[in-house]
Structures are given as C-alpha cells and as structure tokens.
C-alpha cells in the first residue's frame, strides 16, 4: 500500500483483507476524488478504491494545471506505480475517461483487468467544439453550461468557480487537444457507458471505442443524463461489481 500522504491520490477504501483488484477512478473536469466516496459503500469487499486527485483540488489547490498530456500521464502514473504491479482496473468519466485510457495505455500491463469509460468520446472522434478553453471567463462558463460538461452545482457556485476556473480551463484545453495519439490498449476489455438522456453528444461520439481493444468492448446505457455518475444508479453499481468479479476470476 502506498503512502496515504501522496497528495496526487485519495485512497477512499482499502479492501477488507487481501485485495483482489484495485479500482482506480479519475474524475471529470472540475470533479474531485470525493465524488467517488459513495462507491465505497457498494463496491465488493475485495476491491481497493483509489481516486486520482488532479491539480486545483484539496491538497493540490496550489498546484499548477498540467500543460501537456505527457506531463499529466507521467506524473499520475508515477503516483500509481505501487498499484500497477498488481491486478487493477481504471474508471474515468468524460475528461477522466480520456485520462483513464491514457493511463491504461501507459501501464501496458497484464495486470490491467478492464477499462471503464463513461460519457467519453473515443480517441478517433474529434471534439464537437474546440477553442472553448480560450474564451473569457464569463463566456467560458456559459459555454460549459451549454455543452453540459460540468455539473450545474459547480457552475452555479461563483465562489467555487473562482477557485476551480484555472484547473477546469486547463483540463478543457487538454480535452480539446486529445485525439488519436495511440492505438489499442491491448488485451483489455472495455466497458463504455453513456447516459440515456445525455445531451452533450458524447453518446454518439463513443461508437469508436471497439477499435481500441483487441479484446471485447461493450456499450451499456445507464439511466440519467451526462452526469449519471453523480446519481449513483443501481445499474452502474451492478455493472462495475459484476465486470470486476468476472475479470478478477478469469484473469
């Protein structure tokens, strides 16, 4: 177990006894590791729950945003190194899904049991909107609201937005420049989930994910909008627990 003092990670729940798998979660743009706290209540007891903490949150409030994808992936992989030598899976939502894919590609490990991506376009699909990150603050926030890619409770909190704005802007800039940097992640199954009422366009932009695994890729429709993750629907719980149980015992 790595030191709990690493500010780049949040160990939300150690497994009860010997962990069968570690689930590494990555939040959406503007999100926090604590968004995954509820998962500690319903994940199977043999799963470690760890979340990535990006700059601009909590103990990393004063850390500057990453300038490039390589910098982000290098630093995050370094933080996760103790977990990557044993069975693990990645889960990322929206911008976090892009990071989860990059981490899985960088790990290039037989210990990576599954990649979960939700509300996240495939790498070969260009962004629907570009240059949003270059807009002035007011227009930038308005564009995020129209795109539906940031939660309303975040956008509607002026004090919080003043704190988070540099980090969110940096993450949106990286999201805009993210594309087909690599090929398939190898023999790692992908579970791609989307909200039934998602109005962001990410649902249609996810269809290319099968090309990025030499194993299988499944698509699962989850009740809710783009941020179904925050509603914590029972189907999401069932999918995560059942897929990790299958990959743990078959791997």
The number of beta carbons lying within 10 Å of the beta carbon of residue 4 is 10
Contact 64, 89 (CB under 8 A): no
The number of beta carbons lying within 10 Å of the beta carbon of residue 231 is 12
Report how far apart, in Å, the C-alpha atoms of 168 and of each of 15, 91, 113, 218 are. 32, 20, 30, 30
Q: Which two tokens stand for residue 242?
A: 């059942």
Using alpha carbons, select from 192, 198, 150 the residue that is nearest to residue 171: 150
Structure confidence at residue 130 (pLDDT): 75
Number of domains in the chain: 1
Residue 105 belongs to domain with CATH number: 3.40.50.1820
Q: Is 69 contained in some domain?
A: yes
Using alpha carbons, select from 49, 55, 24 the residue that is nearest to residue 37: 49
Q: Is 193 contained in some domain?
A: yes
Structure confidence at residue 247 (pLDDT): 61
Domain of residue 177: give its range: 9-250
Q: Is 1 contained in some domain?
A: no
Q: Is 142 contained in some domain?
A: yes
Identify the band that residue 216 occupies on the pLDDT scale cut at 50, 70 and 90.
very high
Structure confidence at residue 8 (pLDDT): 97
Q: Is 44 contained in some domain?
A: yes
Q: What's the pTM value of the predicted model, to 2 decimals?
A: 0.91
Which string of b and e fits 210-219 if b means at least 16 CB within 10 Å? bebbeeebee
Helix H, strand E, coil C: the string for 103-139 is HHHHHCCCCEEEEEEECCCCCCCCCCCCCHHHCCHHH
In this predicted model, what pLDDT tens digit does every residue of 148-207 receive, in sequence order? 767 777 778 888 888 888 888 999 999 999 988 888 898 999 999 999 999 887 788 999
Identify the band that residue 1 occupies on the pLDDT scale cut at 50, 70 and 90.
very low
Which string of b and e fits 169-206 if b means at least 16 CB within 10 Å? bbbbbbbbebeeeeeebbebbbbbbbbeebebbbbebb
Q: Is 144 contained in some domain?
A: yes
Q: Is 32 contained in some domain?
A: yes
Q: Is 80 contained in some domain?
A: yes
């Amino acid at each position: 177990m790595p030191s709990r003092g690493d500010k780049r990670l949040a160990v939300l729940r150690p497994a009860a006894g010997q962990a069968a798998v570690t689930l590494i979660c990555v939040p959406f743009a503007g999100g926090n590791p604590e968004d995954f706290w509820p998962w500690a209540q319903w994940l199977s007891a043999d799963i470690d729950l760890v979340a990535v903490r990006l700059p601009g949150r909590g103990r990393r409030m004063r850390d500057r945003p990453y300038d490039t994808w390589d910098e982000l992936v290098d630093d995050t992989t370094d933080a996760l190194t103790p977990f990557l030598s044993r069975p693990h899976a990645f889960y990322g939502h929206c911008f976090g899904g892009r990071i989860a894919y990059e981490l899985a590609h960088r790990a290039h490990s037989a210990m990576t049991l599954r990649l979960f991506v939700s509300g996240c376009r495939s790498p070969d699909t260009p962004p629907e909107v570009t240059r949003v990150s270059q807009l002035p603050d007011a227009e930038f926030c308005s564009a995020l609201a129209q795109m539906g890619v940031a939660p309303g409770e975040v956008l509607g909190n002026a004090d919080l937005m003043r704190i988070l704005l540099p980090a969110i802007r940096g993450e949106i800039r990286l999201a805009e420049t993210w594309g087909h940097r690599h090929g398939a992640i190898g023999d790692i199954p992908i579970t791609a989930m989307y909200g039934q009422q998602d109005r962001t366009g990410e649902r249609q932009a996810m269809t290319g994910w099968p090309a990025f695994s030499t194993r299988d890729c499944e698509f699962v429709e989850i009740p809710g909008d783009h941020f179904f993750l925050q509603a914590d629907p029972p189907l999401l719980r069932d999918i995560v627990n059942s897929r990790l149980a299958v990959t743990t015992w078959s791997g």
